């Protein structure tokens, strides 16, 4: 997706063109390091099964599996590799692993970028307003996984209710879901035949149990911000460390990504610097734990309906100081 969702004068065209260049090497380094880390944690998990050491390894392994969605997200944008077919191949593999088919993800995510925070059109954020209970169920993973599995099953039966999916693409997501289901049933059949728990131990159990790790990123990006169609006020970046930025493929620079989604993940720090620091603009940003503490405190005894939709209601002191600059940009 090479569309622009912010004022074009925030960056010079030549600079944006340079930042938008793809690289097979950089894509391979990131994808290879992520998959390589998963192989290492999988091997260590195998070696430590039956001991307490397996618990932290299981948690790290599950977090790494869930953060593969950061890679799938970038693959859906076609920005990981310069060679287009590589984005397609690995995007479908990641989508299969994460129970999140690629065609559906691309269609839904395009609607998310074009209609960010418009709950009637945003394919990802449209939902019932959170109360504390429903938010925690989403954060911890139960309702997340239910929605993913139920959607694949529903598509298998030819029932597509998502308004973000055009009529001409419905046959694509139905076929895709059926192919995924065949793959999952095949894995289940092989596992039963060989009486093996490997798929559960090294894939499904850690992935399902550790969804919260990735939900820390998913929830911070837009929740508690304005619903107006202004990327600088409806999208939040995240203040974190280098290890988390690596695992999340730099999606912590989320405002920059939403402004110019055609820029590859490995250039997002430079893009962030150019469009924000270079123009004296401060996007909304919080830490993971600071954000969660705010949301949980504000939803205790309340729902999102108790807060305004035309201005932020989740912010820390740093956000409050930056708010006027972002809102006026």
Q: For the segment 292-311, what is each residue's pLDDT rounded down to a tens digit?
A: 999 999 999 999 999 999 88
Q: What is the pLDDT of residue 10?
A: 85
pTM: 0.93
Q: Which helix (H) or strand (E) holds 286?
A: strand 285-286
Q: What is the DSSP letter of 168?
A: G
Q: What is the pLDDT of residue 1?
A: 57
Averaged pLDDT, 139-165: 96
Give per-residue pLDDT as tens, 13-53. 999 999 999 999 999 999 999 999 999 999 999 999 999 99
| pLDDT > 70 fraction of the chain, expressed in percent and rounded | 94
User: Cα(277)–Cα(1) distance, rounded to whole angstroms?
Assistant: 24
The tokens of 232 are what? 């600088």
Q: Which residue intervals of 226-286 are DSSP H helices?
A: 231-234, 242-247, 254-259, 268-275
Check whether 289 has a pLDDT greater than 70: yes
Q: What is the DSSP letter of 203?
A: I
The tokens of 6 are what? 């912010």
Averaged pLDDT, 241-252: 97
Question: pLDDT band at 320, cuts 50/70/90?
Answer: low
Q: What is the pLDDT of residue 321?
A: 61
φ and ψ at 131, to 5 degrees? -105, 180
Question: pLDDT band at 279, cuts 50/70/90?
Answer: confident
């Amino acid at each position: 997706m090479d569309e622009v969702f912010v004022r074009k004068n925030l960056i010079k065209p030549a600079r944006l063109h340079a930042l938008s260049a793809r690289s097979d090497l950089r894509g391979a380094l990131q994808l290879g390091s992520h998959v390589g880390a998963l192989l290492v944690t999988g091997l260590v998990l195998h070696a430590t099964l039956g001991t307490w050491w397996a618990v932290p390894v299981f948690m790290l392994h599950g977090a790494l599996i869930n953060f593969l969605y950061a890679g799938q997200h970038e693959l859906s944008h076609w920005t990981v590799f310069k060679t287009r077919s590589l984005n397609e191949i690995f995007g479908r593999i990641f989508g299969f692993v994460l129970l999140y088919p690629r065609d559906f993800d691309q269609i839904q995510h395009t609607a998310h970028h074009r209609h960010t925070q418009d709950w009637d059109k945003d394919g990802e954020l449209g939902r019932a307003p959170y109360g504390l209970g429903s938010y925690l169920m989403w954060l911890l993973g139960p309702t997340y996984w239910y929605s993913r599995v139920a959607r694949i099953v529903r598509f298998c039966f030819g029932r597509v209710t998502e308004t973000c999916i055009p009529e001409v693409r419905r046959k694509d997501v139905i076929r895709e879901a059926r192919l995924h289901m065949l793959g999952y049933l095949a894995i289940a059949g092989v596992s039963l035949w060989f009486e093996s728990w490997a798929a559960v131990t090294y894939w499904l159990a850690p992935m399902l149990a550790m969804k919260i790790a990735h939900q820390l990123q998913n929830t911070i990006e837009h929740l508690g911000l304005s619903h107006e169609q202004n990327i600088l006020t409806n999208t939040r970046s995240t203040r974190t460390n280098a290890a988390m930025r690596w695992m999340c493929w730099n999606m912590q620079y989320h405002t920059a990504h939403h402004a110019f989604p055609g820029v590859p993940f490995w250039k997002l720090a430079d893009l962030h610097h150019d469009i924000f620091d270079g123009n004296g603009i401060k996007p909304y940003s919080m830490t993971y734990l600071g954000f969660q503490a705010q949301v949980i405190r504000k939803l205790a005894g309340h729902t999102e309906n108790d807060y305004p939709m035309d201005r932020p209601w989740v912010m820390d002191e740093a956000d409050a100081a930056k708010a006027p600059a972002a809102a006026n940009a």
